[in-house]
Each structure stands twice: as structure tokens, then as C-alpha cells.
Chain A
Amino acid sequence: MRIEDHPILGPAKGEATIEIEVDGRKIPAVPGEMISSALIAAGIKVFRRTHGKGEARGYFCGIGQCTDCMMTVDNMPSIRTCITPVKDGMKIKTQSGHGKWEV
């Protein structure tokens, strides 16, 4: 859920004027925000499945350190979604294991 108004920070600066595609589903995004933020705002929490057991993983450290939030972005696997900004029309896929290089 987006925080539209905030007692200290005031109203949200950006509006969700662009769209990204996640596993074929279109979701709104705010220009400049990180991919992970658009996903969480849309209620998507599972970003990746582990190589061995296929367990769900998601947003964890938020600063590009833990690599738990990696997804396949525009056919590039293992993109850290917490430090990668959205772009209009970006195609994002839930990644399994190390993902596949499709460039």
C-alpha cells in the first residue's frame, strides 16, 4: 500500500503514471521508484524462488546487499530490484534459482 499522506513528509511527491509488467501482469509504478517498491505497493511479496527447494524470497535489506530480491528484468537475470529504478514498460519476471540470461 502506498503512503499518500504523511505527518512529517506531507503528501506523496510522485504519482503512479507509468506501468511495468510482472509475470505478464501490468502494475502501476511511480517514475523514479525502485522496482521492489512498485511490487510491494501492488501486494506482490514473492520476488524469487530458491534453486533447491523453490522457497519464496522477497525484499529483505533494501540497500542492494543481501541479493534476496533479485529478479529477471528485461531478460537480464539477477537484478537487485531494491536499487534498480522502474522504467515504463519494463518486463519483470519472478526468478527461479540463478535465472536465465536471455539477452
Chain B
Amino acid sequence: MLTTDVAVVGAGPAGLLAAVDAAKAGAKTMLINEYIEPGGQLTKQIHKFFGSEEHKAGIRGIDIAAKLFKEIDELKVDKRMATVVWSIFHSNILGIAHDGKSEMLRAHKIILATGASENAFAFPGWTLPGVMGAGAAQTLINLQRVLPGQRVLMVGAGNVGLIVAYQLLQAGAEVVAVLDALPYIGGYSVHSAKIARDGVPIWTSHTVKKAHGRESVEGATVVKVDKQWELIPGTERELEVDTICIAVGLTPLTELAWLAKCKFTWVPALGGYVPLYDDKMETTVKGLYVAGDCAGIEEASTAMEEGRIAAISAVESLGLITQQRAYALRAAAYERVKEFRIGPFGEMRDQGKRFIWREREKYEGRV
């Protein structure tokens, strides 16, 4: 059986930072990732990040990733790419598989940083090839350098929808329209302004009624919706598109936390079911931590800080750093996170996080 001090599952922004901080403290660290390369969504994010200097603002996701890969290598983190974690046993043993071969891994501490998956949106024709997640289209254009199609309809005017619409333009596709069922644009105006400047219409109070096509998308019918999100007959419009991108939110990927029998709670502002955890990111299963989108949907900047908080707490628990040092490092991380948990959306997420902490305290009181 393989053994390690800290096993980090997922090599996106949260997992990378968790591995860096764990290894820096002297923990034998293994970083496991399903995709053949590390980076998660970072390697698809060609836009510059927000925030202040300490949040890596003004730097593109791809460049942040490149710097982190270097650190991971310098710290001699045991990288296991193209490796699936297929189960978790007795809270500290992982079943991992690579190239058709399975192994067991005993880890003193496990940090789950498994990220999120895009929400689907069902309408007649949504299963046709050519309908895909906005993130899936982003993966294709920015990582794989292949266009999903020539004429794209983007469904969802939140940040993901707006950013990917702009990146589709950069990649050479035509974005026919961006829709949102809400009566307003949900994403930041810095993103909506970019695509508006390029002449892409953003239709609020609109949705897709149907995707047409025999073997793949050949067109879409879009329609206006009222305040109750009911379709308004007579407002239909036919669009000639070969690709429909769905950007209607994300759901935390929490399978491993469920398998480990973590207690969960439902927090709509954070994307649905999330495991309970405390301010150390430790779940209700001792030694099992979560960080990033799998602990509630936020953004890469907060995911990186949560990865650090989880790692600091794990190495503290292993006795590699003092309590005082861990406390100071966590406090500093929470100070940096603050900026992202203000404003209308941030505030909701902040409340969501505090709700999770309270629920975990309540649970601790019960057992």
C-alpha cells in the first residue's frame, strides 16, 4: 500500500495551493488529478484576475498555473496525473487507479479539492451534439485550440457566460446572442461591456425554447419570458446557430465526501449540497478537509486561499507547524478572502460559509 502524509485530490487552484503549502511545511505530499495535466480551470482562464496584488490580480489564470506548476516541481510533490480516485475507505484510505491499474493509498490527511461541474439546462433538443457547457466550450478553445462551431448561442449572462462568450470571439467564432432568463445581466459589467463593444446582443428575460437539428444543432428558437419565467407566446425568434453553450451555474463535485460519510447541508448560494466544515476546512470526518468549489461555488481566488487554509490546518494537525503559526496563517488567509466575500454575491456566499460553520458546530454538539 502507498502511504503519504497529505493526499490532495484535484490539481485545480485549491488543490495546487494545498499541495504547495503542505509540502512547504515538510509534509510528504501527493497530488492526485483525473486529467492528464494539472491546473483545473486555471489553464483555461486566459482573462486577467480581479482583486489586489496579493490576489494575483491582473495576472491571467494560465500564468498563475504555470508559476504553481514550477513550485510543485521544486517542492518535489508526488504528482499523480491521469489518476482517478474511485473510493475512500475508513476515512483515510483512497482507492486510486492509473492506466487501468488500481492501488490503495493510506494518507494521514486528505484534502478534497475536486471542484465543480456545470449545471445542465433541459429544453427540447438539449441532448443534440452541439449543445454543451460553456466551460466545455472554453476547454475546447483555450486548452485544445479547437472551435466547437462557427455560430454560437450563449445561454446565461452570468460571469461564466459573458467571459466564455468573449473568449469565443477571441477564438474566432461568431456569438449570435447571449441570453438570460433574468430581467438583468448577472455578470460584472466589465465583462458584458466587452462583448457589447463587439456588437453581441444580450437579451435579458429570454430563454431557449427549442434546439433544432437532426444529428447536431442547426438552429434554435428563443423566446421572451415574463417575471414568472413563463414563455410569452408570439415572441419567438429563430436563430441560425450550430452551437449552444449553457452557462447556468455550477454544482460542487462532492462524491468522495459523500462516500466518506461526511455530513452535508444545503446552501443554494454555494451551489447546493456542501459538506459541513469548520474554519479549518475540516469536515465532520476527522482528517478529511475540503477546499475550493467542492466546498461551495466561489472563484479561483477564494479556492486558492481555501486550499492554503486546509493545508495549514492539516500540517498543524500533523505537528509540522505550531498552533500559533497555523492560527496566524489562517487569519492572514481569511483577511485576503474578505475582499471576495463582499458585494451582493459575495455577501451571500459569506453568509453561506458562516451557516456551514454553525451547522458543523451544532453537529459537534450533538455527537
Seen from chain A, the residues whose Cβ lies within 8 Å of a Cβ on chain B are 1-3, 6-9, 12-14, 33-34, 37, 40-41, 45-47, 55-66, 68, 82-83, 85
Q: Can you give 11 A-B contacts (C-beta < 8 A)?
A: A34-B144, A41-B146, A46-B216, A55-B127, A57-B129, A59-B148, A60-B132, A61-B133, A64-B34, A82-B136, A83-B36
Residues of A within 8 A of B150 (CB): 1
A3-B146, A8-B46, A64-B35 given; A58·B136 CB < 8 A: no
Residues of B within 8 A of A41 (CB): 146
Min C-beta distance of A66 to chain B, whole Å = 8
Residues of B within 8 A of A63 (CB): 35, 117, 135-136, 139
Seen from chain B, the residues whose Cβ lies within 8 Å of a Cβ on chain A are 34-36, 46, 60, 62, 117-118, 120, 127-133, 135-137, 139-142, 144-148, 150, 170-172, 215-216, 253
B129 touching A46 by the CB < 8 A rule? yes
Chain B, Cβ-Cβ closest to A76: B100
Min C-beta distance of B224 to chain A, whole Å = 27
B132 touching A8 by the CB < 8 A rule? no
Partner of A45, one of B130, B136, B139, B253: B130
Min C-beta distance of A14 to chain B, whole Å = 8
A8 to B43, CA, bound (A): 13
A47 touching B117 by the CB < 8 A rule? no
Partner of A1, one of B137, B139, B147, B215: B147
A58 touching B35 by the CB < 8 A rule? no
A7-B170, A9-B46, A45-B129 given; A56·B146 CB < 8 A: no
- 7 smallest CB-CB distances across A and B, nearest first, come from A58-B129, A62-B136, A37-B144, A45-B129, A62-B139, A45-B216, A3-B145
Min C-beta distance of B13 to chain A, whole Å = 15
A99 to B135, CA, bound (A): 28
Chain A, Cβ-Cβ closest to B253: A65
